[in-house]
Amino acid sequence: MWQSKQHNAWGDPSKTDQESQPLWWQHDPLPQNSLMLPRGNARSYGDSCQNHSGVVIDTTYLNRFLDYDKDRGIIHCESGTLLKDILALVVKDNWFLPVVPGTQLITVGGAIANDIHGKNHPAKGSFGDHVLAFQLRQEGSDVIHCSSTENPDLFSATIGGLGLTGLITSATIQLKSIPSPWMAVETIPFNSLETVLELLQSSQQSHEYNVAWIDCLNQSATKLRGIFHRSNFVHSETKIPDRKNINIPCYFPRWVMNKFTIKNFNRIIYYKNKKNKPSQLPYHKFLFPLDNINHWNRIYGKPGLLQYQGVIPYDNGKTLLKELFHQIIQSQQASFLCVLKCFGEQKPKGLLSFPMSGFTLALDFPNRGKKTIDLLHCLYKITLEADGRIYPAKDSCLTPEMFQQGFSHIEQFSSHIHGNFTSDFWQRITGNSVSCKKTS
């Protein structure tokens, strides 16, 4: 028997006595006289989905479909609907969400509030680019309809707005058409940073989904090895098979994630994928590889994990990535999740949206306290000095100065924050609480 619902941030499984109030229907009353934060499936890694100064409004029960136009591929659903449920419904009509992250276990509201991106950013932009409209609830006001023509300022503040502008109750999303739920996946091993950067850029024309997995423990910064995956949806008549889930029933002891085990695990991933053989995979196997391991964050033990995800502009990108990898490899703290992707030129709709033109690198570190936070700060510094930015949804230890350096529209955004809405993240980066994530 295990707790069936995730109540903490994904990267921080430590117990919390935080109050959470479920919202069962769109018009149920919001908490009175209390600071609040709407939360979906709590898959943000850091404290952007926590609010210890008040109440967290659990939106996961707002998961009803309100309208589905099969001809035009437009879906209207409540904000707590999981992307998994939308895909299960629309895929059989050959529609698909234009942008999905590495997990389908997030809610629509969360996808908007973090303006999430996927492996196809150069082709499709971020999630907010496909949101036609949404309804927003603020305390003491009627439901506010927001779209690019109706309340456009609030619309762009809410996309990537970390749930601080109000509670999204429902959203209308434009889907994209696909030939079938199958994807043709090409797997290319590489042995240098130059090769993978070249692959990432040259594949954009021919393939919609591009991602590189990098082994940060077995090589030097000048000779990085890893596996590059590129993929497109293809036509197939075959029915997609059901997926069996594995459950991690308890937290692993801390020593499980040591240098030796991770190094060898990475070696296995590398050699297993090394055979360059094109294959056809059902969409969930390629796009959401970790979704069939319930509670995979428990592998990192009770201290949890910290993630670095930043974006670095293309100018001088190679040198900066080398510098980042140099720091990561030297630290020997990396784990098996290290992913490099490209962002396209398009400007996102949200004021605080993370994507900008450049390379984006994401990697998990087992939380080893100060040692890991120092490394993250070092990586943040390199990223920000190059005019890049850090992804708030994954962050646990940005300082107010660092946050301001990365996002230029903070002032404009702040004017849209609704009075009673706040989060631990926002309090931290506005300087109300400078405490970093617990140092195990």
Partner 1 sequence: MQKNILIIGATSAIACATARLYAACHHQFFLVGRNEEKIKLTKQDLLIRGAKKVESYCCDLTKMENHEKILHHAELSLGTLDIVIIAHGVLPDQQQCEKNIDFMVQSFEVNQISTLCLLTLISERLKTQGHGTVAVLSSVAGERGRKINYVYGAAKSAVSIFLQGLRNRFHGTGIHFLTIHPGFICTPMTENFKKGRLWKQPDEIAPDIVKAIAKKKDLLYTPWFWRYIMLIIKMIPEKFFKKMSI
Give the separation between CA 411 and CA 220, rounded to whole angstroms: 42
Candidates 24-32, 203-211, 372-380, 405-413 — which segment interacts with partner 1 by CB under 8 A?
Answer: 24-32
Rounded to the nearest whole angstrom, what is the least distance from the CB of residue 86 to partner 1 in the complex? 11
Does 67 engage in binding with partner 1 (CB under 8 A)?
yes
Pick one of 66, 281, 410, 417: the residue that binds partner 1 (CB under 8 A): 66
If the CB atoms of residues 124 and 137 are measured against partner 1, the closer one turns out to be 137
Nearest to 226 by CA among 340, 120, 117, 342: 340
Crossing angle (nearest 10°) for helices 370-385 and 317-331: 170
Does 382 engage in binding with partner 1 (CB under 8 A)?
no
Residue 372 · residue 306 · CB < 8 Å: yes
Pick one of 61, 177, 259, 435: the residue that binds partner 1 (CB under 8 A): 61
Rounded to the nearest whole angstrom, what is the least distance from the CB of residue 21 to partner 1 in the complex? 8
Rounded to the nearest whole angstrom, what is the least distance from the CB of residue 4 to partner 1 in the complex? 5
Give the separation between CA 39 and CA 73, rounded to whole angstroms: 27
If the CB atoms of residues 23 and 123 are measured against partner 1, the closer one turns out to be 23
Pick one of 22, 189, 289, 400: the residue that binds partner 1 (CB under 8 A): 22
Does 289 engage in binding with partner 1 (CB under 8 A)?
no
Does 248 engage in binding with partner 1 (CB under 8 A)?
no
Q: What is the DSSP letter of 438?
A: P
Does 142 engage in binding with partner 1 (CB under 8 A)?
no
Q: Exposed (0-12), middle (13-18) or buried (19+): which is 232, by Cβ within 10 Å?
A: middle
Does 4 engage in binding with partner 1 (CB under 8 A)?
yes
Residue 252 · residue 366 · CB < 8 Å: no
Does 260 engage in binding with partner 1 (CB under 8 A)?
no
Residue 204 · residue 212 · CB < 8 Å: no
Does 265 engage in binding with partner 1 (CB under 8 A)?
no
The gap between the terminal CA atoms of the chain, to the nearest Å, is 26
CB atoms within 10 A of CB 220: 11
Candidates 62-70, 178-186, 269-277, 416-424 — which segment interacts with partner 1 by CB under 8 A?
Answer: 62-70
If the CB atoms of residues 97 and 185 are measured against partner 1, the closer one turns out to be 97
Does 2 engage in binding with partner 1 (CB under 8 A)?
yes
Nearest to 89 by CA among 79, 108, 75: 75
Give the separation between CA 245 and CA 48, rounded to whole angstroms: 28
Pick one of 74, 89, 184, 281: the residue that binds partner 1 (CB under 8 A): 89
Give the separation between CA 384 and CA 268, rounded to whole angstroms: 34
Q: What is the DSSP letter of 253?
A: P
Q: Exposed (0-12), middle (13-18) or buried (19+): which is 133, by Cβ within 10 Å?
A: middle
Does 5 engage in binding with partner 1 (CB under 8 A)?
yes
Pick one of 65, 251, 265, 296: the residue that binds partner 1 (CB under 8 A): 65
Pick one of 25, 177, 235, 385: the residue that binds partner 1 (CB under 8 A): 25
Binding site for partner 1 (CB under 8 A): 1-5, 21-22, 24-27, 61, 64-68, 89
